[in-house]
Amino acid sequence: MCETCGCNITHGNVELAYHPLEGGTTTVGALNRLLAANDREAAHNRAHFDAHGVLALNLMSAPGAGKTTLLEATIDALKADFRIAVIEGDLETENDAVRIRAHGVPARQITTGSACHLDAHMLHQALHDLPLAELDLLFIENVGNLVCPASFDLGQHRDIVLLSVTEGDDKPAKYPVMFRTADLVLLTKVDFLPHLDDFDPVRAERCLRELASDAPLYPVSAKKSINMQSWLSWIRDEIISVRQALPQAAVA
């Protein structure tokens, strides 16, 4: 994207933008992202997070990969050091928000009805109910879906994609758009690995690299507390790096 005005016109596509006129018609070259309105609202959300020095992490996966269980264990491990809140996206029910609140942190449930993803507007509405000034870390648990959430920026700082070992190890090859967005991939439920003969973590990582992704891939089990330290350290480092990128006044 053009740094000066935000347009998408580059040397490679400039010829597409201009077109000779025919009588009685006007042609307007645009080259806007189709989701320009969502992108603007996402940028607005990000500005809110930055103004309050809050790290926003977007968790995405197939349904049942263990997002909520991971969050429960993560909150227990980090809540003494950081002020945490969670936004939960589901088609129906308040169940996940209830589970999160039981760990002593605020949770706001977004029920999307039949919508298969969160968008920046839904997130913005939910943010009104959360005390951003009193937070360090916001988790957004997106709707369980490896397709649609990949296309909608919410204003998060980082994307985390979970792949549970009870799914196929070729999931990154099947859902390239989703796995390409990941800043970090968590291989979850690895306590099951000894019982599974058809999930090869090496193959999963190879499928991820074939998407030209250099995202770290951490095998974890939230239930059995396996290798959670690498994930928790990653969060601590990200909190520091997001704060360092902010003007000093915002962090105070």
Partner 1 sequence: MHELAVCQALLAEVSQIARAQHSAKVLRVLVRLGPLSGVEARLLARAYPLAQAGTVAENSELVIEEAPVHVRCRDCGAESAAQANRLLCKDCGSWKTEVTSGDEMLLVRVELEQAADASRPNSDGDINAGRHAAYGGNNV
Tell me whether residue 31 or residue 132 sits nearer to partner 1 (CB atom).
31
User: Which residues, other chains included, contact 39 with Cβ-Cβ below 8 Å and sequence gap of 6+?
Assistant: 33, 120, 153
Helix orientation angle between 36-51 and 120-127, rounded to the nearest 10 degrees: 30
Binder to partner 1 among 63, 98, 174, 237 (CB under 8 A)? Answer: 174
The reply to whether 176 sits near partner 1 by the rule CB under 8 A is: yes
Q: Which is nearer to partner 1, 1 or 196 (CB)?
A: 1
Q: Left if phi > 0, otherwise alpha if psi is -120 to 50, otherwise beta: which for 66? A: left
Residue 105 has which token pair?
């942190």
Which structure tokens are listed for 212? 């030209």
> Among the candidate windows 19-27, 73-81, 87-95, 218-226, which touches partner 1 by CB under 8 A?
19-27
Which single residue is written with the structure tokens 């129906």?
92
Do 139 and 60 touch, CB atoms closer than 8 A? no
Binding residues with partner 1: total (CB under 8 A): 49
Which residue from 29, 168, 201, 216 is in contact with partner 1, where contact means CB under 8 A?
Answer: 29
Identify which of 67, 61, 145 has the alpha carbon closest to the alpha carbon of residue 100. Answer: 67
Radius of gyration of the chain from Cα atoms?
Answer: 20
User: In angstroms, rounded to a whole number, what is the distance separating the alpha carbons of residues 195 and 80?
Assistant: 35
- Give me the 130-159 binding string for partner 1, x by CB under 8 A, dash otherwise: -----------------xx-xxx-------
Query: If binding is defined by CB under 8 A, does position 28 make contact with partner 1?
Result: yes
Q: Candidates 15-23, 125-133, 157-165, 195-203 — which segment interacts with partner 1 by CB under 8 A?
A: 15-23
Residue 233 near partner 1 by CB under 8 A: no
State the minimum distance, in angstroms, from the CB of residue 80 to partner 1: 38
| Interface with partner 1 (CB under 8 A) | 5-8, 12-13, 16-19, 21, 24-38, 40, 115-117, 119, 147-148, 150-152, 172-174, 176-178, 180, 207, 209-212, 214
